[in-house]
Structure 1
Amino acid sequence: MPNKFYVDLHCHPSLKPLGKSFNSNSTKGKNSNNHKNNNSLYHKKKPHVVSKLFNIVTTMTKFTQTDLQTLADGNVHVIGASLYTMEKGFVINKLKTGIVCDALSNLAMGIGKKRIDNVQEHQDYFSDLELEYNFYKQLDNQLVDVKGKKVKYKLAKSYQELAGLKEEQNDFTTIYIVLSIEGMHALNTGLNGENSQCDEEEVLRNLDTIKNWEHPIFFVTLAHHFWNELCGQAPSLSGIVGWATDQEHGLDSSITPLGYKVIDKLLDDSTNRRMLIDMKHMNNKSRKAYYQYLSKYYALENIPLIVSHGALNGLKSHENPVNEISIGKQFLAEEINFYDDEIIRIVESGGIFCFQLDERRLIDDPKNIKKGWTKHQMKFNQSLLLWKQIQHFVEVLNARGHSDIWDNMAIGSDFDGVVNPLNGFWTGQDYASLLEYLTAHASSYLKSAQCPLMDQNKIDASEAIDKIFRWNALRFMEVNFSVREEALLV
């Protein structure tokens, strides 16, 4: 494999180009092989000075972050591309529908007014999911010329297909895409908010369809931003988007009877098509119910717990919300972030925790971020936000006598979703720089006389951060996204 490549287990390369494809009936749902067209997965819109300043002031991101041109330029060779059928709660909100609502939604997501109109009008989330899946399939494994460079992406059917990662980076660049789904409203639930009444047979039939897709889904988030009739969601929206939308219904709900049926079908591995469940966006009540359900019905199956794009809240537990580790006092102490006792659960399940590169999730108040008057100072201070999360993660494990405390973390940026990136690390092209700064933070920490880690946990700083940006995610896929030998013989 290349010496320096990166893995991002959660991002949304298709959100903007698929949205832009609706600008014309002739391009709707079509993935252009011309990178100059904004309905292409390869279309790159660089973060220039004005768009960076706009992001700093508004927290909204108008440039592209994980278009495949950017990923190729940044040596991001493996991604978890999250299929996301946009929820109506974003585009039918407190402002109802109309010019102001459409303008606000487009400002926040950059998908185009005609796509917003489409989401407001359609009555089938599942068809929308299939549309996005087909958007990826159109140029799967096809070489595209991008400014004189040959690039392609390949939808991976298993970890075994990543074996070509080294060989296929010589004459051209290959980006391997592992598919996931964000929000099981995609099964066609939650269409009408608190008044929703889905068709259970249709929901389970849609899930059967997904499990028979040509390209397996690695994992799914059961919840997302709004009530979906399956489980309760955590409060997640803030700023102008939070002001305009209404997440209230479902915030105090747990997993529903239909939710458990969906969980069982997702975890069914009888055809080697198990889809793991990502706990991001589930509220605490639903997460606790999920833990209990696994303990009762799946105790012998070693189901790994996943957080595909998360952050820590620094609190010991939901029942005992205190900061056992002082650095956690600086974190965003909200339910959407994860508690110390959940770190233990995730690691002991053989799971993985992927850090989201969203400034709003990493700190209690952005006003507390140290100001930097040079580019270096800015990047040092911004990367420190992520480093403190990593430090907290390993100290929680170390305090409980765990070894291999660096082995269950990865990156799940959530880029090209509705996120506010760390200033200076705007896109997937900035991972090399972020790795460099994090390695410096790790080195200072590990060499400090105040470092509380046991000797066996004081590994080389470069090795520690390399695990987070590459090796942990690949190892996790090798264990959990591999085709069994008996399946290979069929």
Structure 2
Amino acid sequence: MKKIFADLHCHPTMHPFAFKEADKDRKNSLWSDNKPKKRQRDSAYPEYFQTSMPALARGNVKLVVAALYPLEQSWLDPEIIGEGDISDFIAKFFISHLPVRYINMVQSDSFNYFEFLQKEYEFLLQDHNKTYKVNGEDWKYVLAKDSMDIEQYESDENVIIVIPSIEGAHSLISANADQIIHNPEVHETTLSNIQKIKTSWNHVPLYVTMSHHFYNGMLGQARSIPDGAASFLLHQQVGLNEPVNPRGEEVIDCLLGIGKYKGNGKRILIDTKHMSVSARLWYYHKIAKYNEGIAASNRIPIIASHMGFGAHDTILDSITLPDTDKKKYEESKFFNPWSINLSKEEIRIIVESGGIIGLNLDQRILSGAERIEKSKEFSNHDIKNNTKKVVQFWTKQIGENIIEIAKAVVDSDISETEKAKVWNSICLGTDFDGMINPVDSFIVADEYKNLMDALLVYFTDNNDFKALAMGLSIETILEKIMYQNVYDFVIRNYK
């Protein structure tokens, strides 16, 4: 039987949707096969497609949660990067690798986030259940409506099951970036737009990632943009680290279908990635209180869809030194200590809720400054040829994030049964095609199987891992991380 894989968070529509909207006659389909060239293995914000349907098919990826994301205008703000040919060049080659015509659409004052969210969903629908050839075999993807759909197609080897999600609650507002900040009345559209999604979309999103890189007028975001050119050009300070406001609280209730919104349609879960620490603390308390006395099948699980380990014991420890203090990252070693990543306390909260943690394959999210500097010692030849030492380096980085996530639970003072649940809670949430800088050894969906094989080798002789395995074999744990945990999670929660 072939190994199969799942991804809790990736962006297969990101590039082809942009090319389609820009009226390009190439790269404009989810079946467009834009493979990386050898020289692109070390590309940051790659132009090649990481999760095209052909890449997913070649990689035997059975199940993906496809994040729909109307691009935030602040990435391309003309007041920051200027206007005309030079700004178009900056936006295309240094920020997004998207067509200039699409970039100009996003920059327009008439740009409407919810309108583009609906367009991206319709784009995802276009090839649903249509057959295409990949390496001489018939393949198709199907959009699942619920867990029964997922169970129906799981045994079909040549079907990719896709579930939509939404990244950024800005996507739910019929407005542009300026209006979200300066015209409070535009937020009146948000609740009705959620109801449109719940009642008129045949495939309701599994979750909404409430925050993203820029403020959405509902809750604050954690710092995500590193120092350097991007930090200089892009102003992320507005709303940084802000708590949830009453508007955001109501939107979360509406998505979850709780409180006065009970019974308003299919539950849409909340993804805590990118949320500020204060917003996460509020949400964790809210969910813990809601889940008290509720049957396990009806509890609300916490999703952290594309994360890394943050090397802090508690959530508040992660902001003792602000993320904006350069020393915080510059003096970090193995792991990225920014508050966007998970503390040990948070990991335990997520696992206890029956939630799930996706591993982001972005270099910076997985790595502290010392490790990033170490990765720069590899020659271009080593990286382009993905030599053994490069593979070992990045396998160790991913493996150590897994070990620390597991250790946060297994080393805690809870029952053995509860400790073992951590191995049901870790999966891939690569953020592929989401404008990331992927780890150089595993850059496309075709290579998930290479990652699995490399982790098997790494964990086999790792005593720290063996001490955390809770009686499970390495093979069983890897099967859970690479596929089974996502499958089991959506079967439980996508009803």
- TM norm structure 2: 0.87
1:159 to partner: Cα distance: 1.8
Mapped to 2, the partners of 1:156 and 1:246 lie a distance apart of 38
* SS, match of residue 422 in structure 2: coil
> Corresponding residue for 1:113?
100
> Pick from 267, 287, 292: which aligns with 2:280?
287
1:12 to partner: Cα distance: 0.6
> Pick from 326, 334, 339: which aligns with 1:335?
339
> Tell me, which stretches of 5 or more residues in structure 2 are unaligned?
321-331
- Does the CA contact (< 8 Å) of 2:18 and 2:28 recur in 1? yes
Q: Deviations over 1:271-299 (max 9, x none)?
A: 55000000001010111111222244554
Mapped to 1, the partners of 2:399 and 2:135 lie a distance apart of 35
Which has the higher relative contact order, 1 or 2, with Cα contacts under 8 A spaced 6 or more apart?
A: 2
- Does the CA contact (< 8 Å) of 2:358 and 2:426 recur in 1? yes
> Pick from 85, 108, 118: which aligns with 1:99?
85
One-letter amino acid of the structure 2 residue matched with residue 200 of structure 1: H
> Corresponding residue for 2:423?
406
1:196 to partner: Cα distance: 4.5
Question: Higher helix proportion, which one?
Answer: 2
Matches within 5 A, 1:85-484: 85-92=70-77, 94-107=80-93, 108-121=95-108, 122-146=110-134, 148-169=136-157, 173-188=158-173, 191-192=177-178, 194-212=181-199, 213-238=201-226, 239-268=228-257, 270=263, 272-297=265-290, 299=292, 300=294, 302-320=299-317, 330-365=334-369, 366-369=372-375, 371=377, 373=382, 375-400=387-412, 401=414, 402-445=419-462, 448=463, 453=467, 457-482=470-495
**Structure 1 residues 3 and 230: alpha-carbon distance in aligned structure 2, compared to 1, 3 A threshold:** same
> Corresponding residue for 2:28?
39
1:465 to partner: Cα distance: 1.1
**Structure 1 residues 336 and 343: alpha-carbon distance in aligned structure 2, compared to 1, 3 A threshold:** same
1:198 to partner: Cα distance: 4.2
- Does the CA contact (< 8 Å) of 2:9 and 2:66 recur in 1? yes
> Corresponding residue for 2:9?
10
- Does the CA contact (< 8 Å) of 1:383 and 1:422 recur in 2? no
* Count, aligned residues: 455
One-letter amino acid of the structure 1 residue matched with residue 373 of structure 2: K
One-letter amino acid of the structure 1 residue matched with residue 103 of structure 2: I
- Does the CA contact (< 8 Å) of 2:111 and 2:176 recur in 1? no
Q: Deviations over 1:326-372 (max 9, x none)?
A: xx951010011111100000000000000001011111121034855
* SS, match of residue 122 in structure 2: helix
1:111 to partner: Cα distance: 1.6
One-letter amino acid of the structure 2 residue matched with residue 461 of structure 1: I
Q: Deviations over 1:453-481 (max 9, x none)?
A: 36x71421111111100111111111111
Mapped to 1, the partners of 2:264 and 2:184 lie a distance apart of 30
- Does the CA contact (< 8 Å) of 2:55 and 2:444 recur in 1? yes
**Structure 1 residues 298 and 404: alpha-carbon distance in aligned structure 2, compared to 1, 3 A threshold:** closer
**Structure 1 residues 100 and 289: alpha-carbon distance in aligned structure 2, compared to 1, 3 A threshold:** farther
Mapped to 2, the partners of 1:144 and 1:355 lie a distance apart of 30
1:190 to partner: Cα distance: 6.2
Mapped to 1, the partners of 2:171 and 2:435 lie a distance apart of 18
- Does the CA contact (< 8 Å) of 1:405 and 1:457 recur in 2? no
Mapped to 2, the partners of 1:195 and 1:100 lie a distance apart of 29
Q: Deviations over 1:159-216 (max 9, x none)?
A: 21122345422xxx21110110000101126621643524233111111101111111
One-letter amino acid of the structure 2 residue matched with residue 158 of structure 1: D
Q: CA RMSD in A?
A: 2.1
One-letter amino acid of the structure 2 residue matched with residue 279 of structure 1: T
Q: State which drifts further: 288-297 or 273-282.
A: 288-297
Mapped to 1, the partners of 2:255 and 2:40 lie a distance apart of 40
* SS, match of residue 233 in structure 1: coil
1:259 to partner: Cα distance: 0.4
- Does the CA contact (< 8 Å) of 1:194 and 1:249 recur in 2? no
Mapped to 2, the partners of 1:403 and 1:146 lie a distance apart of 39
* SS, match of residue 207 in structure 2: strand
Mapped to 1, the partners of 2:316 and 2:111 lie a distance apart of 40
1:444 to partner: Cα distance: 1.4
* SS, match of residue 214 in structure 1: coil
One-letter amino acid of the structure 1 residue matched with residue 92 of structure 2: N
**Structure 1 residues 282 and 97: alpha-carbon distance in aligned structure 2, compared to 1, 3 A threshold:** farther
1:146 to partner: Cα distance: 4.2
**Structure 1 residues 146 and 461: alpha-carbon distance in aligned structure 2, compared to 1, 3 A threshold:** closer
* SS, match of residue 461 in structure 2: helix
* SS, match of residue 166 in structure 2: strand
* SS, match of residue 277 in structure 1: strand
1:19 to partner: Cα distance: 0.8
- Does the CA contact (< 8 Å) of 2:315 and 2:346 recur in 1? no
* SS, match of residue 80 in structure 1: strand
Mapped to 1, the partners of 2:151 and 2:480 lie a distance apart of 18
* SS, match of residue 280 in structure 2: helix
Mapped to 1, the partners of 2:185 and 2:476 lie a distance apart of 48
Mapped to 2, the partners of 1:174 and 1:142 lie a distance apart of 10
- Does the CA contact (< 8 Å) of 2:212 and 2:275 recur in 1? yes
- Does the CA contact (< 8 Å) of 2:432 and 2:444 recur in 1? yes
> Tell me, which stretches of 5 or more residues in structure 1 are unaligned?
323-327, 483-490
**Structure 1 residues 391 and 90: alpha-carbon distance in aligned structure 2, compared to 1, 3 A threshold:** same
Mapped to 2, the partners of 1:62 and 1:451 lie a distance apart of 36
- Does the CA contact (< 8 Å) of 1:232 and 1:286 recur in 2? yes
- Does the CA contact (< 8 Å) of 1:234 and 1:282 recur in 2? yes
Q: Deviations over 1:86-144 (max 9, x none)?
A: 11101115224333332222223222000000011133111100000000111111112
* SS, match of residue 177 in structure 2: coil
**Structure 1 residues 407 and 146: alpha-carbon distance in aligned structure 2, compared to 1, 3 A threshold:** closer
1:62 to partner: Cα distance: 1.8
- Does the CA contact (< 8 Å) of 1:190 and 1:198 recur in 2? no
* SS, match of residue 288 in structure 1: helix
Mapped to 1, the partners of 2:3 and 2:135 lie a distance apart of 22
